[in-house]
Amino acid sequence: MGNKYDANLIVIGAGSGGLVTAYIAATIKAKVILVEKGEMGGDCLNTGCIPSKSLIASAKFIHEISQSENYGIRRANCDFDFAEVMQRVHRVIDSIRPHDSVERFTALGVDVIMGQAEITSRHSVRVNGQELTARSIVIAAGAEPFVPPIEGMEHCGYYTSDTIWNLTELPDKMVILGGGPIGSELTQCFARFGSEVTLVERSDRIMVREDREFSDQLTRTFTDEGVTVRTGHDAQRVLIKDGRKFLQCEHNGKTVDVEFDTLLVALGRAARLEGYGLENLDIPISSRNSIEANEYLQAGYTNIYAVGDVTGPYQFTHFAAHQAWYACVNALFSPFRKFRVDYSVIPWCTYTDPELARVGLNEQDAKQQNIAYEVTRYELSELDRARTDGHAEGSIKVLTVPGKDKILGATIIGKHAGDLIAEFVLAMSHGLGLNKILGTIHAYPTWMEANKFAAGNWKKAHAPPWALNLLEKFHRWRRN
């Protein structure tokens, strides 16, 4: 007798969310079909994390050379061709590509089909004219750059994070619209290559999700590096005057024209809601305009799941991968076993220089949610390794439950912040407090020691005065 379904799972989209879903399903011996209409690896590999971090690496290298005196080196020059820098970006993508390839996933036991998937019913998907059926479907269709209808923009031309990687010539005058993580990373990057960059942001500061002090520190760094940061500027239209292009903004009731030859729109990413048959089903759309998934990641139907940028609430590769485990396991084992998603400890990092990383609550969130907290700080200027490396700037800010060492959240700004945050992620995930970080041996001299010293600052601030008084008396007595 034939099977009722062709597969246990059909996964739509081979980006971070879809690849991890398919990988887990195949590993635990389910029959899984993975459908991709574009390039394997999705946004992260082709137009997101990998190209951006590769470009940032080259920009950082140029910057370090310009800071040679910081290392006792009188003069260091560099000579580069932006086209070659971009070629390197694509070489890095190509070097990682095999990891996400059809060949690798086929070898892992996944049936990969290249083509556009369209859900036709709650158990069927049409691809390349063929109707495939599965007990469950996972939608991992991702997101695309959000481009608002700004008058004149289509006419003048603009880039997004989907297309900027095709540049082969360094822009002369660049406007980057949007001071979020993508806009901030690329602003600093292009400025370091030598473009004249203006960052335009509607809010009164960049990186609004982070505490103001960190936005301010990044703004100062950008300004020192020659970027013009225009906060409080609301983009209205794009104009051409005498053959020159301008982004016209409203600022404090006045009109400000910012000239550019290259415009990058980095205003966030909108969940992809078209092109895979949503209209054929009754899948709810959230107020954030993404697929609404419940605590099991089910989207409107008990056998249809959504993961990654298409549902959110966070849009990170590691978050998509985190959701993928839940969606995959729930899809394969429900109704016998179901797991609620756990978003209590989600880290992220913006790869500016200094990096800005966070896990859990920051001060503005704690205030907004009326959660009582205490703040402990540690300045990286006090860290030996930060001094030897010539990067003794930045800080760690930890929020704890008042009177306890329980960590509510941590924000780190500084070199390697994205790596340093991992210890707080581990601690929060496993209920370890600052005392446990303090009681852990950290190799000397490392950046990781900063976490221990932050924990030490908490300890010093919480040493009970009565105990210290008693100790003082004890030692005095011992001296007699």
Ligand X SMILES: Cc1cc2nc3c(=O)[nH]c(=O)nc-3n(C[C@H](O)[C@H](O)[C@H](O)COP(=O)(O)OP(=O)(O)OC[C@H]3O[C@@H](n4cnc5c(N)ncnc54)[C@H](O)[C@@H]3O)c2cc1C
Which residues contact ligand X by CB under 6 A?
12-18, 35-38, 42-44, 47-49, 52, 116-117, 140-143, 161, 182, 272, 275-276, 308-310, 315-318, 320, 351
Q: In angstroms, give the least distance from the CB of 38 to ligand X.
A: 3
- Contact between 448 and 378 under an 8 Å Cβ cutoff? The reply is no
- Residue number, 312 or 409, with CB nearest to ligand X: 312
Q: In angstroms, give the least distance from the CB of 262 to ligand X.
A: 16
- Residue number, 8 or 21, with CB nearest to ligand X: 21
Q: In angstroms, give the least distance from the CB of 120 to ligand X.
A: 12
- Residue number, 89 or 258, with CB nearest to ligand X: 89
Q: In angstroms, give the least distance from the CB of 284 to ligand X.
A: 18
- Residue number, 126 or 452, with CB nearest to ligand X: 126
Q: In angstroms, give the least distance from the CB of 206 to ligand X.
A: 16
- Residue number, 144 or 449, with CB nearest to ligand X: 144
- Residue number, 34 or 448, with CB nearest to ligand X: 34
Q: In angstroms, give the least distance from the CB of 424 to ligand X.
A: 17
- Residue number, 178 or 394, with CB nearest to ligand X: 178
Q: In angstroms, give the least distance from the CB of 401 to ligand X.
A: 28
- Residue number, 12 or 408, with CB nearest to ligand X: 12
Q: In angstroms, give the least distance from the CB of 115 to ligand X.
A: 7
